[in-house]
Amino acid sequence: MLDTITASRNDDVIAREWAEASLAIVASPRQPAIESMLQGVPVQRRGVRRKQTLFYAGQPCHSLFLIHAGVFKTTVLSEDGRRKITGFHLRGDLLGMDSFGAPVHACDAVALDTGEVWEIPLATLRDHAPELLPHVTTMLASEIRRDWNWMLTLGTLNAEQRVVAFLLDFAARVEALGFSARHLLLRMTRADIGNFLALQLETVTRILSRLAATGLIVVDGREVRIEDAGALRRMLVH
Amino acid sequence: MLDTITASRNDDVIAREWAEASLAIVASPRQPAIESMLQGVPVQRRGVRRKQTLFYAGQPCHSLFLIHAGVFKTTVLSEDGRRKITGFHLRGDLLGMDSFGAPVHACDAVALDTGEVWEIPLATLRDHAPELLPHVTTMLASEIRRDWNWMLTLGTLNAEQRVVAFLLDFAARVEALGFSARHLLLRMTRADIGNFLALQLETVTRILSRLAATGLIVVDGREVRIEDAGALRRMLVH
DNA sequence: CGGTGGTTTGAATCCGTTCAAGAACCGTGG
DNA sequence: CCACGGTTCTTGAACGGATTCAAACCACCG
């Protein structure tokens, strides 16, 4: 993957171009920018149904998957069966990157509702869009920074603050996709949220009820309306 | 070499080569893989003292730093002052990767004792060793997998198990560098360990005392001798 | 020496978990 | 259409593991 090489061009030239491209890219907020870069690249569009697994950890990985619609979760699993959700993913996110340089996938990717992904075989990436590779590197780096931020959140905030952080993060992400930041439709269960935030599902429920009781949000099942984003944000200030 | 593949070779061959290359990186023997790849690359050797900060979050980043000696910690900081250690780093680890594609560093890097780093300006990387960039991508991906594993550990194990996981991880890493896996010299404080594991320093102290009381380890300040690695490993099975 | 940073241990407290039970929801099939 | 079983969500009460607060100890160093 990291090879990109056609017979006519030599390694040094390719590598230098790659380096320049990487250095030129500045951290960009989330956007389906990748989608527009795939002009002329033959991708395989693939519909997925709720609860369908896109790929399993341990499976050979030969493609990246660009989310075009739907919400996904990725999970890691320990030998003794402990499972942890490592993230929720929306349109524009790239699934499978984390296995770069590895022969098999490191996580499971599961659709939380019906959706569509664009499958990009690594061979296609290499042959048709090698200029995209630096972007993958950049996205990997920003994934690390995102993970670190969640580590910070989980490691230093209490249960209530974690749930609030989750809601605000989700709101910001759907807003960046052009949807309302006020009306959230959580596609995941309370158990999923709890797993991600290192809390029990009962704790998540209780906290949502409490927030609703104080009027900061309105909860109706998986629909959450944010009534006072400012107050929520202030709760995160330690 | 990951980047010498021509279009004529099929995925299987490529995948196998990746696997071999990545395994070679992960299972680095005494001589860290990256170090030997820097033959002929003009790096700047730089000594650091205990508690010295290599770079701060927010600083413009124009170099990677390869650890040649010493132990470092990287930390992220929230706006309201919460700080979290994102990792401890040994010889062969590359610091600053996570800022790839970003104009400034995302974390602080602090030396826990005297050490030496090889500073590799990004410009140098581009001009003298562009073939190293794919390795950076691979290392970024494996950093993500490492982070996910710690998320799993912190999210699903109790305090005692986390401390045990920390000790075993540290032991495995120093062993991979050619040192004894039995005699650990923890360079970080109890507060550092606690911060990394999302525990209070008193909890870390108590657990080390308890493990010592049951004879699984011997503790003398920052020196820890592992007496029964098997029993420790068994404690991690949920 | 006193001072500082780090470690250890105890006792009381509290936050989130655990266990339990019931309600609401949803797709499926009779 | 409603009955059904399974999943998800909600709420209560009791419990317990980790935190918090406090005090003492130690090593090191200016």
pLDDT digits (tens, 9 = 90+) for B129-150: 998 999 999 999 999 999 999 9
Residue A106 pLDDT greater than 90, yes or no:
yes
DSSP, collapsed to helix, strand or coil, labels residue B80 as coil
Residue B50 pLDDT greater than 60, yes or no:
yes
The whole-angstrom separation of Cα B117 and Cα B27 is: 21
Rounded mean pLDDT of A73-84?
Answer: 97
The whole-angstrom separation of Cα B36 and Cα B118 is: 12
**The pLDDT of residue B238:** 72
Rounded mean pLDDT of A135-149?
Answer: 97
Q: How far is A67 from chain B (nearest CA, A)?
A: 19
**The pLDDT of residue B35:** 81
Asked whether the beta carbons of A75 and A69 are under 8 A apart, the reply is: no
Tokens of A17: 């171009």
* Residue listed under structure tokens 């001798």: B225
Closest CA to B22 of B176, B175, B142, B148: B142
Measured in whole angstroms, the distance separating CA A99 from the mean position of its chain's CA atoms is 14
Residue A20 pLDDT greater than 60, yes or no:
no
Question: Using the CA of A222, which nucleotide's C1' is the nearest one?
Answer: D9
| Measured CA angle at A119 (ends B26, A105), to 5 deg | 25
**The pLDDT of residue A166:** 98
Say if A21 is an interface residue toward chain B (CB within 8 Å): no
**The pLDDT of residue B147:** 98
Out of A123-137, A140-154, B3-17, least confident range: B3-17
B54 compared with A21, residue with greater pLDDT: B54
The whole-angstrom separation of Cα B134 and Cα A129 is: 16
Band the pLDDT of A33: cuts 50, 70, 90: confident
The DSSP element (H or E) to which A137 belongs, if any, is helix A133-156
Q: What is the average pLDDT score of chain A?
A: 88
> Which amino acid is located at A224 in the chain?
V
**The pLDDT of residue B32:** 67
Residue B71: how many other CB atoms lie within 10 Å: 23
Q: Compute CA distances B222 → A145, A176, B173, B190, B205, whole Å.
A: 30, 47, 17, 9, 11
* Strands of the sheet with B53-55, listed across from one edge: B53-55, B108-111, B72-77, B83-89
Percent of residues, chain A, with pLDDT higher than 70: 87
DSSP, collapsed to helix, strand or coil, labels residue B203 as helix
**The pLDDT of residue B30:** 55
**The pLDDT of residue B119:** 97
pTM higher than 0.85:
yes
**The pLDDT of residue B216:** 98
Percent of residues, chain B, with pLDDT higher than 70: 87
Band the pLDDT of B37: cuts 50, 70, 90: confident
**The pLDDT of residue A34:** 80
Q: Name the DSSP class of B200.
A: -
Window 107-146 of B: residues touching A by CB (8 A cutoff) are 107, 122, 125-127, 130-131, 133-134, 136-145
Asked whether the beta carbons of A195 and A154 are under 8 A apart, the reply is: no
Nucleotides of C under 7 A from a protein CB: 6-11, 15-20, 25-26
CB contact set of B149 (below 8 Å; sequence gap of 6+): A76
What are the residues facing A55 on neighbouring strands? A109
Band the pLDDT of B33: cuts 50, 70, 90: confident
Is B219's CB less than 7 Å from nucleic acid strand C? yes
Q: How far is A174 from chain B (nearest CA, A)?
A: 23
Residues of A in contact with B102 (CB under 8 A): 26-27, 141-142, 145
**For B82, phi and psi rounded to 5 degrees?**
-75, 135
Picking from A14, A102, A138, the nearest residue to B22 by CB comes out as A102
> Which among B147, B158, B168, B196 is the top mutation candidate for probing chain A, defined by the most A β-carbons within 10 Å of its own β-carbon?
B147
Rounded mean pLDDT of B145-159?
Answer: 98
Is there a contact between A141 and B22 if contact means CB atoms under 8 Å apart? Answer: no
